[in-house]
Every structure is written in C-alpha cells, then in structure tokens.
C-alpha cells in the first residue's frame, strides 16, 4: 500500500479526522486507524516521517525502527515461478505469499509482495500480463494478412487464409493455412489445433467472423449450427468476443501479430505449390516460436504449456468430429425430403412442414422444432430413397409389405395355377413395377372371390393364354369360372352300344 505517508500527512500534519482521511485517500477507516496507531506506537512525528520513503515507513511501522537513510534488503521472490504457479487451478497470490513467508520469515508483507509482483508483471507484454487459468481458454481467429500459393499451370498467386489459435495460460500457439474462411475450413482448423494442443479447453473464444457467428450480439450471439455442434462434440463452451471489445481477444490479436512477423515474414520469399507444403513450413516455424524463451521470462511457451495447460486440458474425444451440413427443407406429399438428389422419409404427419436437415458424410438426420424425428444412412446414388416403414401411413405400410417373393409365396399357397399365373406376370418382360402391381392385384382377388374360384379362374386363363389381371377379374365378376366348373362336373358317358369305343380304331 503506497498511501501510508499520505495518510500520516493528512492526519498528523493537517489534523484531519480519521473519516476525512479515509475518504480523501480512498481507503477503509480501519486502515487509517491502524497506520496512525502504529506511527504513534513507534514515536514517529510527521517531521521524521516526511524525510522517509514508503519502503522505510513500512519498515518503521511493521518491522521496528531503522536508522535514517538505511534500507533493509528483503529476500526477493522468484517472480517467474510466481507467474507460472498463478496459472494453475486453485493457486492464489495469498497462497504463494504464505509459502514465501514460510521460507523467509523476514520477507515482504502481503501488500508489498503484491505491489512488487504487479510492478514486475507490468514490464511484460500486454498479452502475457493477462491472467488466464490453465486449461480455461483457447482463442481463435483468422489473420488479416494472408499467405499464398502459386498455381503451377499459369504461375498466378492464389491467396489462402491463415488460422491462428492460442492457449490462454501458456500462450502456446498453433497456426495453419486454409483454403478459405468457410465453415468447413474453420472447423477443420479447430480440430487440428486441439490435436496439436493434445486436449480440449473449457472455453473457446472466437472473433465474430462469419464462419463462427451468424448474428453478433453483446448478450446472445447466434452461432453457426455446425460450429455449435463442434463445441458440443468436444465439450468446450463457445463464447465469442464481444463486438468492439478488443481486450476480450488480446491474446489472439498478439498471436496473430506474432504469426505475421514470424511466419508470413519468414516465408515471404518462398514459393509453395500445395497447401501441404505451405503447412509443413508453417509447422516448423510454429514449433520454433513455441520453443523460444519468452521476453522477460526464462521459459518458453512450450515449457509453460507442459506445467500449466497440458495438465488441465480435457482429453480429446475418441471419435474425430465429422463436420455436418445444415439445410432447411420442406416435407413433400410423399413424406420424404430431398437432399443432394436423394430422398429420405420422415413421419407422414409432417407432410408440408418445414424441417431442419443435418447431413454428414455418413448420416442424414431430420429435426422438427429441435427434436430429431428421423435418421438415415446417407445415400450417394442419384434418385435413390431411404424409407422407414414406421414413417408410412397404415395403408402404405401394408402395401409396402408385399414384396415379389411374398406374392409368389401366397400364390403358391392358393394353388398351382395361381402360382404359375403370378410367375408369368412377374416375368413377362415388361417393367418390374408393372408386373409387381398386376401380380399383387391377382392374389388380392382371392380375398374378394375366394381362393378356390381364383385358382379355377387362373387355370382357365392359362388354358386360354390370357395373362391379364383385367381378364381374370372380368372372368370372376361375370361368373365365367363357375360355368366352366359346372360343365366339368357333369357325369362322364358310360358304355353304350352306339359308342364305338377305343378298340374300334385299333
């Protein structure tokens, strides 16, 4: 506390009341009483105090008297050690001061300890002075300056993007070149960064880039849905920097400047033809930067990472995130939605409703009002469809249950003529769908007219070579099958003298 001399000046020299001094200096009344009481107990007058500096006053009030102009040498704390330890979870300045006083009983008071640490911290770079807990935050952004590739066909420059990520506590940096600032490149770079850091931070802080934030807002920013899915998969909370608040992202702003100075500047004279070559060069420079001792500290970002962030980061999930594609679609009258020239079923009661479709390389999911209503394996053959029977109306489900093999099986149970008739329809050389529908119609005639009549009608139709569902139905409707059956049931002729018999022609 640097106000002790001022407190004593106002109280002893100016004669102001304790409360007036407290208000004027901006400290508590108890603090003023304590300082004044210690000065009186030490027998100090204002004339004596006026000749001393703050450090001497502290010694006189808290350590006993010292000669005029003398100054005690206190054991100096290892501020680099303090800086590193404060980044660990649960470690406070008071705890480190208590440990310091255990080793040095005559060391600095807690207030002086904090003052000296703050002075030392002020000499570091702005980004380093920010205090972040281990494993707490990862800051991400794209660089304004961009690297480029050379097109081997025409020699033209093809500019790409530079993605930068940095851990808050250790300052460990990651950078890579991407084709664009699209959501797919953005998320892929995030996945690579987490694998480089070998863990997941509790919070991810992006800038309000379009790939991350659809609608910036101070209180409730609207995230890109695919980016939000990425956060849920890895278990990290995405909190975009507040619009217009540069201090929220000072860490990554400094990392971007470092990337521009250390990466882009060092490769400015080199020519790269592929993104793989460019990223290989970037990775080497990033490793060198992370292993380089920090200015004002005797340790590197990598060493800080090993003792802070690495111990606190959450483990990576077993499966790598698969970037999805979201799309709003309307359900067709056939209770299917169309995506990438393929069709996927949803419950039929959602016909004409708008639903959200989420597609990955392997899966297509459909959501209605935030609830998943269907999930399909992704199709890749154009015009193909995936239909779940439970999504169909009852009558459609019953119709769909009739497969060609089941139709043949039912026809065989009715009789050999029906079996043969159905097989003829299914293999008549016309379209498969047409033969299937006619064969299904034939076996369903058995429910209307009875299986016995259907078998008899099929027998007559085969004899007449009438392979038509319509002819068979007309035969049953007109009762022609019954007439034929009656004629066959008449008693055969017996022996008679007018019947010559078979022997006559021998």
For 121-162, write each residue's pLDDT tens digit.
776 654 444 567 888 889 998 988 899 999 888 889 999 999
Give the residue with greater pLDDT, 200 vs 428.
Answer: 200
Query: pLDDT digit string (tens) for 70-112?
Result: 445 677 888 888 877 777 766 788 888 888 888 888 788 888 8
CB 454 within 8 A of CB 446: yes
CA distance 100 to 108: 9
- Three state DSSP letters for 301-312: HHHHHHHCHHHH
CB 113 within 8 A of CB 100: yes
- Three-state SS at 85: helix
Query: Closest by alpha carbon to 113, among 64, 66, 62, 50?
Result: 62
Q: Is 220 left (phi over 0), alpha (psi -120 to 50) or beta?
A: beta
pLDDT computed for residue 70 by the predictor = 44
- DSSP secondary structure letter of residue 134: T
Exposed, middle or buried by CB within 10 Å (0-12, 13-18, 19+), for 1?
Answer: middle
Arithmetic mean of pLDDT over the chain? 82
- Residue the block writes with tokens 């439970």: 390
> Which residues are paired to 141 by β-bridges?
164
CA distance 165 to 205: 10
pLDDT computed for residue 236 by the predictor = 93
Residue 481 has pLDDT above 70, yes or no: no
CB 160 within 8 A of CB 275: yes
Residue 493 has pLDDT above 80, yes or no: no
pLDDT computed for residue 355 by the predictor = 93
CA-derived radius of gyration, the chain:
43
pLDDT computed for residue 354 by the predictor = 92
Burial string for 194-203 (b: 16+ CB within 10 Å, else e) reads bebbebbbbb
pLDDT computed for residue 66 by the predictor = 43
CB 145 within 8 A of CB 260: yes
* Interhelix angle 18-25/29-41, nearest 10 degrees: 120
Q: Is 209 left (phi over 0), alpha (psi -120 to 50) or beta?
A: beta
Residue 489 has pLDDT above 60, yes or no: no
Residue 398 has pLDDT above 70, yes or no: no
Question: Is the C-alpha dihedral spanning 6, 9, 10, 16 positive or negative?
Answer: positive
Query: pLDDT digit string (tens) for 357-371?
Result: 999 888 999 999 888
Q: 19-33, 225-239, 306-320: which has the minimum mean pLDDT?
A: 19-33
pLDDT computed for residue 192 by the predictor = 95
Residue 171 has pLDDT above 50, yes or no: yes
- Three-state SS at 334: coil
CA distance 74 to 103: 12
pLDDT computed for residue 325 by the predictor = 87
Give the residue with greater pLDDT, 501 vs 386.
Answer: 386
Confidence of residue 487 (pLDDT cuts 50, 70, 90): low
User: For 345-348, which contacts have Cβ atoms below 8 Å and span 24 or more sequence positions?
Assistant: 345/374, 345/376, 345/385, 345/386, 345/387, 345/388, 345/391, 345/392, 346/373, 346/374, 346/391, 347/373, 347/374, 347/390, 347/391, 348/391, 348/392, 348/393, 348/396
Q: 45-59, 286-300, 330-344, 455-469: which has the minimum mean pLDDT?
A: 45-59
CA distance 110 to 116: 10
Query: pLDDT digit string (tens) for 206-224?
Result: 988 888 888 877 667 888 8
CB 355 within 8 A of CB 331: yes
- DSSP secondary structure letter of residue 247: G
Residue 65 has pLDDT above 80, yes or no: no
């Amino acid at each position: 506390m640097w106000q002790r001399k001022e407190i004593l000046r106002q109280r002893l020299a100016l004669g102001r009341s304790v409360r007036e001094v407290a208000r004027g200096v901006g400290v508590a009344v108890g603090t003023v009483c304590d300082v004044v009481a210690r000065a009186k107990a030490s027998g100090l007058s204002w004339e004596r105090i006026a000749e001393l500096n703050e450090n001497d006053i502290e010694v006189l009030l808290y350590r006993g008297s010292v000669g005029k102009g003398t100054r005690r040498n206190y054991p100096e704390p290892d501020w680099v050690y303090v800086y590193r330890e404060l980044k660990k979870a649960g470690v406070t300045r008071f705890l480190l001061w208590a440990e310091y006083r255990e080793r040095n009983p005559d060391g600095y008071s807690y207030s002086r300890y904090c003052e000296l640490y703050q002075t030392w911290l002020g000499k570091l770079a702005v980004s380093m002075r920010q205090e972040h807990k281990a494993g707490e935050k990862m800051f991400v952004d794209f660089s304004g300056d961009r690297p480029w590739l050379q097109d081997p066909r025409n020699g033209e420059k093809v500019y790409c993007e530079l993605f930068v990520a940095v851990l808050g506590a250790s300052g460990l940096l990651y950078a890579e070149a991407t084709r664009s600032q699209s959501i797919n490149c953005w998320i892929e770079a995030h996945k690579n960064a987490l694998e480089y850091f070998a863990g997941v931070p509790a919070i991810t802080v992006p800038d309000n880039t379009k790939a991350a934030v659809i609608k910036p807002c101070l209180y409730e920013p609207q995230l890109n849905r695919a980016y939000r899915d990425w956060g849920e998969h890895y278990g990290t909370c995405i909190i975009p920097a507040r619009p217009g608040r540069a201090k929220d992202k000072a860490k990554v702003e400094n990392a971007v400047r470092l990337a521009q100075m250390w990466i882009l500047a060092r490769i400015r004279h080199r020519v790269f033809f592929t993104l793989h070559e460019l990223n290989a060069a970037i990775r080497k420079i990033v490793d060198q930067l992370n292993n380089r001792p920090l200015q004002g500290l005797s340790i590197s970002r990598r060493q800080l990472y090993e003792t802070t962030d690495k111990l606190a980061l959450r483990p990576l999930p077993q499966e790598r995130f698969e970037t999805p594609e979201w799309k709003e679609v309307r359900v067709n009258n056939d209770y299917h939605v169309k995506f990438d020239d393929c069709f996927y079923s949803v419950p039929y009661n959602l016909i004409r409703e708008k639903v959200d479709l989420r597609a990955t390389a392997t899966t297509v999911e459909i959501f209605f009002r935030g609830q998943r209503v269907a999930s399909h394996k992704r199709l890749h053959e154009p015009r193909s469809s995936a239909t779940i029977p439970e999504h169909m109306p009852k009558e459609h489900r019953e119709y769909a249950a009739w497969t060609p093999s089941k139709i043949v099986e039912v026809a065989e149970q009715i009789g050999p003529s029906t079996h043969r008739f159905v097989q003829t329809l299914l293999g008549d050389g016309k379209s498969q769908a047409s033969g299937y529908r006619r064969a299904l119609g034939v076996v369903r005639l058995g429910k209307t007219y009875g299986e016995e009549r259907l078998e008899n009608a099929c027998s007559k139709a085969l004899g007449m070579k009438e392979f038509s569902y319509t002819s068979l139905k007309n035969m049953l409707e007109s009762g022609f099958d019954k007439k034929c059956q009656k004629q066959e049931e008449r008693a055969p002729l017996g022996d008679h003298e007018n019947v010559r018999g078979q022997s006559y022609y021998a």
